[in-house]
């Protein structure tokens, strides 16, 4: 397949080159060549009015939770959690499957090609991901009194691994497990060569409790039991300078979720300037649609810039390019998939937007990255994963009908559960 005459290609290569009026040759699942090519392919897509962008990674999600979108919004954090947890008692495989389908349709229509997910019934999310052809990194949450069972369930997921799906070891958060459990999980993960994915240093409360109990801050504590090497850590908003050094040493990826953290008022001050100074890898996540409430990394990039500029009183601290790196390259580092940039030899995970969208104008070589991050606000034209086009704008109408049917099914169940809240 050839993407012909691409108006702009945002490569995200080492030099962050933006190419103009070139073609992209895709063979199988890979980007084979970029340049002025002959029409050496059966399938040619005219991209003369399109901007081609590396596919985004949503590095922290709870796709199944989209069934709770918009319920109990604007409640105080712990009140909201109590109500959501009450609803979760009635959760089923079918509901998680429905939520995951809604999430995946939304993500694909916004250029997201991979997501890292934590939730109940991960098999439901895995099935939905395979159906739509999106990449997924997930695992059974390893917690509670039946830790051995959870690990066996996770082993079953390991057998389902393929080029689109990877398993992690996910202890959820330090407060979800005893230290004995955490050490068992670490042992389990090492034996199977699984990376750790978990929440860390999300709230002041969590840090306070950890310090009272262990005389260590959250990241220091996790390091003391060997958890951090190559780990994926969501939030990390309540962090000391020493912990930032540790995160760098251990090659951890921090997943910033600015919208969810602002909406739940759970972060006072994400220390972006310190992270940037130490060159810690910051990926971007949406968290769940119950606390965001959209699954859109364009929104997330813009808010990442706004929040951290505002917090630091420094308009020049976060660049549009920083946020684009987080959504692409840094997300790819988190998942370990060979995507996140448009270069020869990389996986053909990319999407196209219409260069003529009104909110992008005037568009030129000087403002293209700014306009992608700060003003683009439309559905994408198509999304490609592993060399396959898995979403086209023309499918939107059909997906909306599908989403509407799923919505009716969810409403029947959720609104009945929630009657007493």
377 binds its own copies (CB under 8 A): yes
Q: Which stretch binds its own copies (CB under 8 A): 27-35, 238-246, 271-279, 392-400?
A: 392-400
358 binds its own copies (CB under 8 A): yes
Q: Which stretch binds its own copies (CB under 8 A): 178-186, 194-202, 336-344, 376-384?
A: 376-384
Q: What is the DSSP string of 224-248?
A: HTT--TT-EEEE--S--HHHHHHHH
C-alpha angle 216/222/224, rounded to 5°?
Answer: 75
Between 255 and 294, how does the x/- string for binding to its own copies read (CB under 8 A)?
A: ----x-xxxxx-xx--------------------x--xxx
Write down the least CB distance from residue 294 to its own copies, Å: 4
Write down the least CB distance from residue 333 to its own copies, Å: 23
Nearer to its own copies, 17 or 370 (CB): 370
Q: Where are the alpha helices (DSSP H) in 170-326?
A: 179-192, 204-214, 218-224, 241-249, 258-263, 272-277, 297-312, 320-325
Residue 357's CB is within 10 A of a number of other CB atoms, namely 17
Write down the least CB distance from residue 310 to its own copies, Å: 4
Query: Closest Cα to residue 101, out of 307, 338, 405, 389?
Result: 405
- State which of residues 5, 17, 41, 367 lies at the interface with its own copies (CB under 8 A): 367
User: Segment 191-210, which members bind its own copies (CB under 8 A)?
Assistant: none
Q: Give the C-alpha separation, 141 to 38, whole Å.
A: 50
- State which of residues 212, 316, 345, 394 lies at the interface with its own copies (CB under 8 A): 316
Q: How many residues bind its own copies (CB under 8 A)?
A: 80
Q: Which stretch binds its own copies (CB under 8 A): 177-185, 218-226, 370-378, 380-388?
A: 370-378
Write down the least CB distance from residue 157 to its own copies, Å: 27
Q: Give the C-alpha separation, 265 to 297, whole Å.
A: 20
User: Segment 69-108, which members bind its own copies (CB under 8 A)?
Assistant: 69-71, 73-77, 79-80, 102, 105-106
How remote is the C-alpha of 196 from its chain's centroid?
15
Token pair of 377 as six digits: 């606000």
User: Segment 6-65, which members bind its own copies (CB under 8 A)?
Assistant: none
Q: Give the C-alpha separation, 228 to 222, whole Å.
A: 7
Write down the least CB distance from residue 35 to its own copies, Å: 26
Query: Closest Cα to residue 352, out of 331, 329, 332, 379?
Result: 379
318 binds its own copies (CB under 8 A): yes
Q: What share of the chain is helix, strand, coil (3-state, %, to 5)?
A: 45, 20, 35
310 binds its own copies (CB under 8 A): yes
| Inter-residue contact 390 to 104 (CB < 8 Å) | no
Phi, psi of 306 (to 5 degrees): -60, -50
Q: Which stretch binds its own copies (CB under 8 A): 56-64, 182-190, 345-353, 396-404?
A: 396-404
Nearer to its own copies, 152 or 314 (CB): 314
Q: Give the C-alpha separation, 141 to 122, whole Å.
A: 9
Calculate the alpha carbon distances from 134 to 167, 178, 208, 349, 400 in Å.
Answer: 15, 34, 38, 10, 18
Nearer to its own copies, 100 or 141 (CB): 100
240 binds its own copies (CB under 8 A): no
Write down the least CB distance from residue 217 to its own copies, Å: 20
């Amino acid at each position: 397949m050839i993407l012909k005459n691409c108006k702009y290609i945002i490569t995200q290569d080492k030099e962050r080159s933006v190419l103009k009026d070139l073609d992209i040759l895709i063979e199988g699942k890979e980007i084979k060549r970029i340049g002025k090519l002959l029409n050496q392919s059966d399938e040619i897509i005219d991209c003369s009015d399109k901007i081609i962008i590396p596919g985004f990674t949503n590095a922290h999600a709870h796709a199944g939770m989209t069934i709770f979108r918009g319920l109990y919004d604007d409640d105080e954090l712990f009140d909201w959690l109590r109500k959501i947890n009450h609803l979760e008692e009635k959760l089923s495989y079918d509901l998680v499957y429905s939520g995951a389908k809604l999430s995946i349709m939304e993500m694909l229509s916004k250029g997201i090609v991979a997501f890292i997910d934590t939730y109940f019934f991960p098999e439901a999310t895995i099935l939905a991901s395979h159906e739509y052809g999106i990449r997924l990194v997930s695992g059974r949450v390893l917690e509670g009194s039946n830790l051995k069972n959870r690990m066996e369930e996770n082993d079953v997921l390991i057998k389902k691994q393929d080029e689109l799906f990877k398993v992690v070891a996910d202890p959820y958060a330090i407060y979800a497990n005893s230290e004995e459990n955490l050490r068992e999980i670490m042992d389990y993960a090492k034996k199977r060569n699984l990376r750790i994915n978990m929440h860390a240093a999300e709230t002041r409360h969590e840090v306070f409790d950890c310090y009272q109990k262990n005389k260590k801050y959250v990241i220091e504590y996790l390091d003391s039991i060997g958890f951090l090497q190559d780990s994926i850590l969501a939030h990390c908003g309540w962090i000391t300078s020493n912990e930032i050094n540790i995160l760098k040493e251990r090659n951890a990826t921090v997943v910033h979720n600015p919208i969810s953290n602002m909406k739940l008022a759970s972060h006072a001050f994400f220390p972006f300037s310190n992270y940037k100074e130490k060159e810690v890898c910051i990926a971007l996540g949406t968290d769940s649609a119950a606390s965001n409430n959209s699954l859109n990394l364009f929104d997330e990039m813009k808010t990442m810039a706004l929040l951290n500029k505002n917090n630091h009183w420094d308009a020049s601290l976060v660049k549009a390019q920083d946020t684009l790196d987080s959504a692409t390259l840094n997300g790819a580092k988190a998942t370990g998939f060979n995507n996140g940039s448009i270069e020869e030899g990389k996986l053909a995970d990319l999407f196209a937007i219409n260069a003529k969208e009104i909110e992008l104008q005037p568009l030129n070589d000087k403002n293209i990255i700014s306009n992608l991050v700060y003003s683009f606000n439309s559905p994408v034209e198509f999304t490609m994963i592993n060399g396959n086009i898995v979403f086209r704008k023309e499918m939107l109408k059909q997906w909306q009908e599908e989403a509407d049917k799923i919505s009716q099914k969810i409403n029947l169940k959720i609104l009945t559960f929630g009657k007493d809240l």
